[in-house]
Amino acid sequence: MTTASSREALRSASKELTLMSLQIQDSNRYTQDYWRGVAQGLTTAAQHLGGVSDSEEDDE
User: What is the predicted pLDDT for the residue at 14?
Assistant: 87
Residues whose CB is less than 8 angstroms from the CB of residue 35 and which lie 6 or more positions away in sequence, other chains included:
17, 18, 20, 21, 24
Assess contact for 32 and 24: CB atoms under 8 A: yes
- Residue-wise pLDDT tens digits, 17-58: 888 877 765 556 777 788 889 889 888 888 888 765 555 554
Q: Is the pTM of this model over 0.75?
A: no
